[in-house]
Structure 1
Amino acid sequence: MAGSSSSSVMLAVHEKKTVTVVDLYGPLRRYISQNYSEREALDLEEDLHSLRQMRSDVEKAASACDARRDLLQAYYRALCATESRFPISAEQGHVNGVTFTWQDAFKPSRKCAQPNIHLEKAAVLFNLGAVLSQIALNADRSSSDGHGLRLACGSFQSSAGAFAFLRDHVAPKVGSPATVDISPEAASMLERLMLAQAQECFFEKAVSDAKPPALCSKIARQVALYYEEAHLSLNAPPLNQHFDRTWISHVLLKSAQFFAEACYRMALHLHEKEEIAEEIARLKSGISALTDAKRSAKGVAAPLLDATSKLEANLNRNLDRAVKENDRVYLMRVPSPDSLPPLPAATLVKPTPMDGFLDASGEKLFAGIVPDGSAKALSRYTEMVDEIIRKQAERLQQGSEITRVKLKEMDLPDSILALEGNSTLPLDLKDDVEAVQIVGGPAGMDAELQQLRDLKRVNQEMLVQVEELLQKESREDAQFRTQFGTRWTRPQSSTLTKNLQDRLNRFAGNLKQASESDARIERAVKEHMALMSILDQRPIESALPSLARPIMSLDGNEDAIVGALKQSLRQLEALGAQRAGLEDILKEMKRKDDILPKLMATTGSYDDLFRKEVSKYDHICEQITQNIEAQEQLLLQIQKDWRIISKMNNMDMRDRLIQRKKE
Structure 2
Amino acid sequence: MAVPSSSSSATNIMLAIHEKKTVSVDLYRPLRNYIVFNYSEREAQNLEDDLETLKEMRNNIERSSAADSLPARRDLLQNYFKALTAVESRFPISPDKDHVNSVTFTWYDAFKNRSKASQQNIHLEKAAVLFNLGAVHSQIGLAFDRSTVEGRRQASHSFIAAAGAFAYLRDNTATKASIGNSTTVDVSVECAGMLERLMLAQAQECVFENTIAKGSTPGVCAKISRQAGLYYEEAVAALNVAPLSQHFDKTWMSHIQLKAALFYAEACYRYSLELHEKDEIGEESARLNSGISALSDAKKSSPRGAAQQILDAINKLESNLNCNLERAMKENDRVYLMRVPPVSSLPPLPAFSLVKSMNMNDVLDASKEKMFASLVPDNSAKALSRYTEMVDEVIRTQAEKLQQGSELARVNLKEMNLPDSILALEGHSVLPTALWEDVEAVQVSGGPAGLEGELQQLRDLRRVNHELLVQTEELLQKEAAEDAQFRSQFGTRWTRPQSSTLTKNLQDRLNRFAANLKQAADSDGKIERSVRDHMALMSILDSRPIESALPTLARPIMSLDANEDAVVGALKQSLRQLETLGAQRAGLEDMLKDMKRKDDILPKLMTSTGSHEDLFRKEIAKYDQICEEISQNLQAQEQLLLHIQAQNSEFAGTFNIEDYRASCDKCYKQIEAAIARYREIKENINEGLKFYVTLQEAITNIKQQSSDFVMTRSIQCREMIEDVQRQMSGLSVQDGRNYNYSVGRSHQSQRPEAANMADTPRPQTPYYQPPPSGYGQHPPPRYNMPPPSGGSPYPPQPGQQQGPPGHEYGQPAYPGWQGSYYNAQGQQPVSRPPYPPHQSGYYKQ
TM bracket (short chain): 0.7 to 0.9
Aligned to 1:90: 95
Pick the aligned partner of 2:77 from 62, 69, 72.
72
1:132 aligns with 2:137: yes
Aligned to 2:496: none
Q: 1:538 and 1:610, CA in 2 relative to 1: closer, same or farther beyond 3 A? A: farther
1:204 aligns with 2:209: yes
Deviations 1:541-590 (A, max 9, x none): 99x99678456756621232023212322332333233223222221222
Written as runs of structure 1 = structure 2, the 5 A alignment for 1:324-343 is 324-343=330-349
Q: 1:360 and 1:216, CA in 2 relative to 1: closer, same or farther beyond 3 A? A: same
- The 8 Å contact of residues 286 and 315 in structure 1, kept in 2 or not, is answered as yes
Aligned to 1:427: 433
Aligned to 1:519: none
Aligned to 2:167: 164
Give, in angstroms, the shift of residue 173 of structure 1.
1.1
Pick the aligned partner of 1:581 from 587, 610, 628.
587
- Counterpart CA distance in 2 for 1:182 and 1:272 is 48
1:53 aligns with 2:63: no
Aligned to 1:147: 150
One-letter amino acid matched to 1:41: A
- Counterpart CA distance in 2 for 1:188 and 1:573 is 57
- The 8 Å contact of residues 270 and 276 in structure 1, kept in 2 or not, is answered as yes
Pick the aligned partner of 1:284 from 289, 295, 313.
289
1:617 aligns with 2:623: yes
Aligned to 2:252: 247
- The 8 Å contact of residues 419 and 551 in structure 1, kept in 2 or not, is answered as no
Give, in angstroms, the shift of residue 326 of structure 1.
1.6
One-letter amino acid matched to 1:132: H
Alignment partner of 2:348: what SS?
coil
Which shows bigger deviation, 32-41 or 351-360? 351-360
- The 8 Å contact of residues 553 and 655 in structure 2, kept in 1 or not, is answered as no
- Counterpart CA distance in 2 for 1:195 and 1:260 is 19
Written as runs of structure 1 = structure 2, the 5 A alignment for 1:471-490 is none
- The 8 Å contact of residues 552 and 648 in structure 1, kept in 2 or not, is answered as no
Aligned to 1:228: 233
- Counterpart CA distance in 2 for 1:652 and 1:80 is 73
Written as runs of structure 1 = structure 2, the 5 A alignment for 1:252-263 is 252-263=257-268
Alignment partner of 1:333: what SS?
coil
1:43 aligns with 2:66: no
One-letter amino acid matched to 1:136: G
Aligned to 1:116: 121
Give, in angstroms, the shift of residue 431 of structure 1.
6.0
- Counterpart CA distance in 1 for 2:438 and 2:586 is 27
1:297 aligns with 2:299: no
Give, in angstroms, the shift of residue 614 of structure 1.
2.7
Aligned to 1:10: 14
Which shows bigger deviation, 618-627 or 324-333? 618-627
Give, in angstroms, the shift of residue 374 of structure 1.
1.9
- The 8 Å contact of residues 157 and 194 in structure 1, kept in 2 or not, is answered as yes
One-letter amino acid matched to 1:610: F
Richer in helix (by share): 1
Alignment partner of 1:357: what SS?
coil
One-letter amino acid matched to 2:297: D
TM-score by length of 1: 0.79
Identity %: 64
1:407 aligns with 2:413: yes
Give RMSD over aligned pairs. 2.8
Written as runs of structure 1 = structure 2, the 5 A alignment for 1:443-458 is none
- The 8 Å contact of residues 552 and 652 in structure 1, kept in 2 or not, is answered as no
Computing the radius of gyration from Cα coordinates, the structure with the larger value is 2
Q: 1:249 and 1:189, CA in 2 relative to 1: closer, same or farther beyond 3 A? A: same
- Counterpart CA distance in 2 for 1:236 and 1:600 is 38
Aligned to 1:482: none
- Counterpart CA distance in 2 for 1:585 and 1:2 is 58
Deviations 1:506-533 (A, max 9, x none): xxxxxxxxxxxxxxxxxxxxxxxxxxxx
Q: 1:398 and 1:313, CA in 2 relative to 1: closer, same or farther beyond 3 A? A: same
Aligned to 1:646: 652
- The 8 Å contact of residues 425 and 553 in structure 2, kept in 1 or not, is answered as no
Q: 1:546 and 1:241, CA in 2 relative to 1: closer, same or farther beyond 3 A? A: same
Written as runs of structure 1 = structure 2, the 5 A alignment for 1:261-410 is 261-298=266-303, 299-410=305-416
Aligned to 1:214: 219
Alignment partner of 1:356: what SS?
coil
- Counterpart CA distance in 2 for 1:603 and 1:190 is 23
Give, in angstroms, the shift of residue 650 of structure 1.
6.1
One-letter amino acid matched to 1:167: R
- The 8 Å contact of residues 200 and 231 in structure 2, kept in 1 or not, is answered as yes
Deviations 1:335-356 (A, max 9, x none): 1111111110010000011122
Alignment partner of 2:110: what SS?
coil
Alignment partner of 2:362: what SS?
helix
Q: Which runs of 5+ in 1 are unaligned?
A: 436-535, 654-663
Give, in angstroms, the shift of residue 88 of structure 1.
0.8
Alignment partner of 1:101: what SS?
strand
- Counterpart CA distance in 1 for 2:571 and 2:589 is 27
One-letter amino acid matched to 2:587: G
One-letter amino acid matched to 2:95: A
Deviations 1:226-249 (A, max 9, x none): 111111111122222222222122
- Counterpart CA distance in 2 for 1:612 and 1:71 is 29
- The 8 Å contact of residues 552 and 649 in structure 1, kept in 2 or not, is answered as no
Alignment partner of 2:363: what SS?
helix
One-letter amino acid matched to 2:19: E
Q: 1:73 and 1:3, CA in 2 relative to 1: closer, same or farther beyond 3 A? A: closer
Aligned to 2:564: 558
- Counterpart CA distance in 2 for 1:106 and 1:2 is 36
Aligned to 2:753: none
- Counterpart CA distance in 2 for 1:432 and 1:105 is 88
One-letter amino acid matched to 1:242: H
Give, in angstroms, the shift of residue 618 of structure 1.
3.4
TM-score by length of 2: 0.62
Q: Which runs of 5+ in 2 are unaligned?
A: 442-536, 660-845
Give, in angstroms, the shift of residue 423 of structure 1.
5.0
- Counterpart CA distance in 1 for 2:428 and 2:602 is 58
- Counterpart CA distance in 2 for 1:388 and 1:268 is 61
Alignment partner of 2:117: what SS?
strand
Q: 1:237 and 1:421, CA in 2 relative to 1: closer, same or farther beyond 3 A? A: same
- The 8 Å contact of residues 3 and 314 in structure 1, kept in 2 or not, is answered as no
Q: 1:209 and 1:434, CA in 2 relative to 1: closer, same or farther beyond 3 A? A: closer
Deviations 1:331-389 (A, max 9, x none): 21111111111110010000011122211112121122111122222212221221121
